[in-house]
Amino acid sequence: MSPTETGQPPLPERISGLAAVATNLSWSWSRDARALFREVDEALWHLTRHNPIELLRRVDPARLAGCAQDPAFLKRYDALVEWNGFVAATHDTWFETSYPDLAPRVIAYFCAEFGLHASVPIYSGGLGVLAGDHCKSASDLGVPLVGVGLFYTKGYSDQRLRLDGWQEDAEERFDLAATPLEQVRGPHGDPCLATVRMFGRTVSIGAWRIMVGRVPIFLLDTDHEQNDPADRPLCHRLYAGGPDLRLRQEWILGVGGVRVLRALGYHPAAWHSNEGHAAFMLVERVRELVMGGTPFAEAVRQVRATSIFTTHTPVPAGHDTFSPDQVAQCAGPVWQEMGVNRDELFRLGHHPALDHDRFHMSVAAIRLSARVNAVSRRHAEESRRIWAPLWPGRAAEAVPIKYVTNGAHVATWMANSMVALLESHLGADWWQRVDDPAVWARLLKLDDVALWAVHNELKSHLMRSIREQARRRWADQWKEALHLVGAGTLLDNGALTIGFGRRFATYKRADLIFQDPDRLQRLLVNPWRPVQIVFAGKAHPGDEPGKQILQRVYAQTREARFEGRIAFIEDYDMHVAHSLVQGVDLWLNLPRAPLEASGTSGMKAALNAVPQLSTLDGWWAEGYDGRNGWAIPAATAATAGAEGDAADAERLYRLLEDEVVPLFYTRDARDVPLGWTETMKHALRAAGQHFTARRMLREYVTEHYVPAIRGQLPADDPPGA
Ligand SMILES: *Cc1c(COP(=O)(O)O)cnc(C)c1O
């Protein structure tokens, strides 16, 4: 293998276009692009965890020279370069065809994290991955979106478990040269594009651009020489540090984000805050309008008419709030530039029923966005209840909060072999017909043997990669053999494999299945019908209770009584998530209702025909149809808390014992579980028809973006004071 220290050797002229393909993330959802990079050097492709920039830097130059002379490789290369040009073009897209008059308008999309690919670690979990899938679908549909986020130069955090299962938060390796980020420069080559005032100092802000197909995302950073040393590391870490750092980051995102877009010449016609972290973007736009001569009330009206706010948090305490003094210290007397006094400004973030003396980011976002949506039907009901105090005198049902249920990006999450199977069954152009219900109805006639074969191949791939990771960790770091059991080396390719991968927040109840260890033991170590569980997930660095649950779960992986049938895969990220949702037999999701706003990992699993067993919460409350998996009815208020947990655990065991395990092990003469494959097909059909990011994007466009671009205010009254 060639040395890595020498940096990137020049690519042979004939295939030099690979560099351009590697630097637009659209490669990550193109099967052809991925296949071509794999072909360059398959082992290195796996070692770099599917990072083409890293691959091209490290691959043996002789191998590249060989590719440049291989007619079969060149044929595929030429097709790919042509496709890449097509992806960059903006004509003939769904958006342009549907709204020819609106195509040049831009929609700004603000989010504190973006989960685009494992090689760009600027996300922590569901919110970021959703934002990434949103941008990818916007690109597919030609929706003129521009993303704005923060560049966390030190990423999120790598997960390393101590021998006792305690999570240490290692600093993530983030090698800029191995990412497709490109520093944006101003007209005179200056990397600083805008400034904001913060705590009495001027802070210069630069931006890094990442291309997601047609969609650019600008990631802001403050690590510039002219900034005060205290301001330079503000954007280093995602969700690290206390409320003070959080406020500074959100000020940079909101205010800095608007100014950077202006500096780059953007004039967005609609503005979307994905979660409340970006609410200062709305405040800044009111300020801009007032500075330009618009009276405050009219400025608020105009900002409302052109803004969309998506809330993701179903608990009041989950929303960021700051003391008005803190905000005033950070922002300085901005109200003076807005034609109002301090109290009038802070009233925007005033919650009439909760924490009287706080500035609520989500409340400000609701007051300044005429279009507010939750992320599932169930979550909309909760959100109307939570935010009803903002519309005094109104019944919760009449609170104007709609919902756009989340979705997952099919080309990102569906395994290659599953895509190929659908092509052979539905025709190569099934991509173009995904909006036709007949396509999904036909899916139910998919050949069971073929589906089972594809699934089992994905399952062995998962098992192999689990063992491979264990092998590397064993060689690199571990001294203790017991770790190998916990890492999944004793897993069995034939056993019913349950996957549980998500953030270790307490409400997600990763430990619920351990409520009755004897019963669980009987379930897992049954010699005729064995069951195994693969866990993965990080706790938020500041979440001690989450880390304790993780530690308890980890301890179970080493319990001899479970005979190696419980494994924990370290460092859950998009790369691990891919192989898990594609390769397990059943996806398990146990949130304490109603705390799961939507959840998306179950959708990703279902897009690979992996059925879900979940509490009836989040998307499952509308996604479960009786045939595509299993549901634990949400505990009623009377059985909340520990009692509710016990009741949910009882239902979980019963479903597994009476329905899931028997169905999985009932085989025909060819050893195919026909009842199970039927469930798999229903899972895939429901997800493909209703829970894709494409469907989600189209709803955002028709119900929110287009009316906002047209400046239409909904008939609903704005919230009261
Ligand atoms: C999809 C995804 C999530 C979100 O999963 P939920 O089901 O919403 O909890 C979190 N992390 C990663 C890496 C993901 O891919």
CA dihedral 265, 25, 499, 35 (to 10 degrees): 170
Query: Hunting for tokens 């998009």 — which residue is that?
Result: 574
**From the alpha carbon of 573, which atom of ligand 1 is closest?**
13
Provide the pLDDT for residue 5. Answer: 42
CA separation for the pair 661, 365 (Å, rounded) = 47
Site to substitute for ligand 1 among 601, 603, 604, 619, most atoms within 8 A of C-beta: 601
**From the alpha carbon of 577, which atom of ligand 1 is closest?**
15
Site to substitute for ligand 1 among 414, 600, 613, 620, most atoms within 8 A of C-beta: 600
- Ligand 1 neighbour 125 (Cβ under 6 A): yes
DSSP state, residue 116: -
- Residue 475: alpha-carbon gap to chain centroid: 32
Instruction: Please name the residue whose Cα sits nearest to atom 9 of ligand 1.
Output: 502
CA separation for the pair 99, 701 (Å, rounded) = 10
Q: Which two tokens stand for residue 638?
A: 């009377």
- Ligand 1 neighbour 502 (Cβ under 6 A): yes
Distance 417 CA to ligand 1 centre (A): 22
- Ligand 1 neighbour 600 (Cβ under 6 A): yes
Distance 692 CA to ligand 1 centre (A): 15
CA separation for the pair 30, 26 (Å, rounded) = 7
**From the alpha carbon of 598, which atom of ligand 1 is closest?**
8
More confident residue, 618 or 187: 618
| Share above pLDDT 70 across residues of the chain, in percent, rounded to a whole number | 96
pLDDT digit string (tens) for 44-96?
999 999 999 999 999 999 999 999 999 999 999 999 998 887 777 777 899 99
Kindly state the average pLDDT of the residues 33-43. 96
**β strands within 113-268, DSSP E:** 145-150, 158-161, 167-170, 182-184, 192-198, 201-212, 215-221
Provide the pLDDT for residue 216. Answer: 97
Q: Are 177 and 57 in contact (CB under 8 A)?
A: yes
**From the alpha carbon of 576, which atom of ligand 1 is closest?**
13
Instruction: Please name the residue whose Cα sits nearest to atom 15 of ligand 1.
Output: 574
pLDDT digit string (tens) for 474-520?
887 776 778 888 899 999 999 999 999 999 999 999 999 999 999 99
Instruction: Please name the residue whose Cα sits nearest to atom 8 of ligand 1.
Output: 599
Domains defined for the chain, CATH in brackets: 13-88 (no CATH), 106-159+168-318+361-406+700-709 (3.40.50.2000), 415-691 (3.40.50.2000)
- Ligand 1 neighbour 126 (Cβ under 6 A): yes
Instruction: Please name the residue whose Cα sits nearest to atom 11 of ligand 1.
Output: 125
- Name every residue whose Cβ is closer than 8 Å to that of residue 715 and which is 6 or more positions away in sequence: none
pLDDT digit string (tens) for 587-617?
999 999 999 999 999 999 999 999 999 999 9
Instruction: Please name the residue whose Cα sits nearest to atom 12 of ligand 1.
Output: 125
- Ligand 1 neighbour 618 (Cβ under 6 A): no
Instruction: Please name the residue whose Cα sits nearest to atom 2 of ligand 1.
Output: 126
Instruction: Please name the residue whose Cα sits nearest to atom 5 of ligand 1.
Output: 601
Nearest to 191 by CA among 217, 223, 215, 148: 223
**β strands within 363-475, DSSP E:** 371-374, 402-403
Provide the pLDDT for residue 488. Answer: 92
Task: Provide the phi-psi class of 478: left if phi over 0, else alpha when psi is between -120 and 50, else beta.
Answer: beta
Provide the pLDDT for residue 206. Answer: 96
Confidence band, pLDDT 50/70/90 cuts, at residue 257: very high
- Ligand 1 neighbour 487 (Cβ under 6 A): no
Provide the pLDDT for residue 172. Answer: 64
Q: Count Cβ atoms below 10 Å from residue 302 Cβ, excluding itself.
A: 16
- Ligand 1 neighbour 260 (Cβ under 6 A): no
Provide the pLDDT for residue 494. Answer: 96
Phi and psi, residue 296, nearest 5°: -50, -50
Nearest to 262 by CA among 310, 194, 309, 349: 194
pLDDT digit string (tens) for 669-701?
999 999 999 999 999 999 999 999 999 999 999
pTM of the model: 0.96
Q: Are 198 and 207 in contact (CB under 8 A)?
A: no
| 3-class secondary-structure state, position 91 | coil
Provide the pLDDT for residue 635. Answer: 67
- Ligand 1 neighbour 511 (Cβ under 6 A): no
Confidence band, pLDDT 50/70/90 cuts, at residue 1: very low
Provide the pLDDT for residue 394. Answer: 92
- C-alpha distances in angstroms, 161 versus 48, 302, 484, 554, 578? 22, 50, 13, 9, 21
CA separation for the pair 573, 547 (Å, rounded) = 17
CA separation for the pair 491, 382 (Å, rounded) = 40
Kindly state the average pLDDT of the residues 138-165. 86
Residue by residue, DSSP assigns 328-377 as HHHH-SGGGGGTS-HHHHHHTT--SSS-TT-EEHHHHHHHT-SEEEESSH
| 3-class secondary-structure state, position 408 | strand
Site to substitute for ligand 1 among 28, 129, 589, 590, most atoms within 8 A of C-beta: 129
pLDDT digit string (tens) for 10-30?
899 999 999 999 999 999 999
Q: Are 498 and 532 in contact (CB under 8 A)?
A: yes
pLDDT, the chain, mean? 92
Instruction: Please name the residue whose Cα sits nearest to atom 3 of ligand 1.
Output: 126
- Ligand 1 neighbour 573 (Cβ under 6 A): yes
CA separation for the pair 88, 79 (Å, rounded) = 14
Nearest to 323 by CA among 301, 303, 344, 350: 350
pLDDT for 177 beyond 90 = no
Nearest to 573 by CA among 116, 56, 171, 25: 116
- Name every residue whose Cβ is closer than 8 Å to that of residue 507 and which is 6 or more positions away in sequence: 591, 592, 595, 596
| Share above pLDDT 90 across residues of the chain, in percent, rounded to a whole number | 79
- Ligand 1 neighbour 505 (Cβ under 6 A): no
Distance 347 CA to ligand 1 centre (A): 35
Kindly state the average pLDDT of the residues 526-554. 94
pLDDT digit string (tens) for 621-667?
999 999 999 999 876 555 667 888 999 999 999 999 999 999 999 99
Kindly state the average pLDDT of the residues 538-555. 92
CA separation for the pair 373, 714 (Å, rounded) = 13
Distance 115 CA to ligand 1 centre (A): 10
Residue by residue, DSSP assigns 247-307 as HHHHHIIIIIHHHHHHHTT---SEEEEESGGGTHHHHHHHHHHHHTT--HHHHHHHHHHTE
